[in-house]
Amino acid sequence: MSNYSPTQEEEYSLYFDGCSKGNPGPAGAGFVLYQGSREILSKSEFISEHDTNNVAEYHALVLGLKKSLSYGIRRLTVYGDSLLVIKQVTGKYKVNSHNLKQYHDYAIELAKQFEFIRFEHVLREKNKRADELANLSLLSTLSTFSTF
């Protein structure tokens, strides 16, 4: 992917998801960046051994926004299955949690760097790839908690 160079006319979408086993518990994040229907980048990242699902969701969003900007993408539609995160970043819900406020504020600052950005809530069934990546980030960590 190192020689990938987007053009401004192309349509880009970002799908993000986070997970926490135990909530709070081991947490991971994943995102997928698409150009049209073609996956151009995906990432899975372990966050910590003790975080909430909402923190994981925001972490995934921030990772995806940062990577999109680093690729020179300036027009983006963002999809997530966390209604809370989508409603908070669109200003429809207040952010009451101090932990989430830091992530929220960072996501908003990143969003301001796009010429156009739209946030859309999708059902979990439409977010399977990002969900898969979020869960994949926990595989090696969860195996250390197992009692085999």
The per-residue pLDDT for range 69-95, each reduced to its tens digit, is: 999 999 999 999 999 999 999 999 999
Question: Model confidence at 107, in pLDDT bands (50, 70, 90)?
Answer: very high
> For 18-61, what is each residue's pLDDT tens digit?
999 999 999 999 999 999 999 999 999 999 999 999 999 999 99
| Alpha-helix runs per DSSP H in the chain | 53-70, 83-89, 98-111, 128-136, 139-145
12-52+63-140 has which fold? Answer: Nucleotidyltransferase; domain 5 (3.30.420)
138 with 19: CB under 8 angstroms? yes
pLDDT more than 70, % of the chain: 87
pLDDT value of position 2:
39
What is the domain partition of the chain in residue ranges?
12-52+63-140
Please give the pLDDT value at position 134: 97
Q: What is the mean pLDDT of the chain?
A: 91
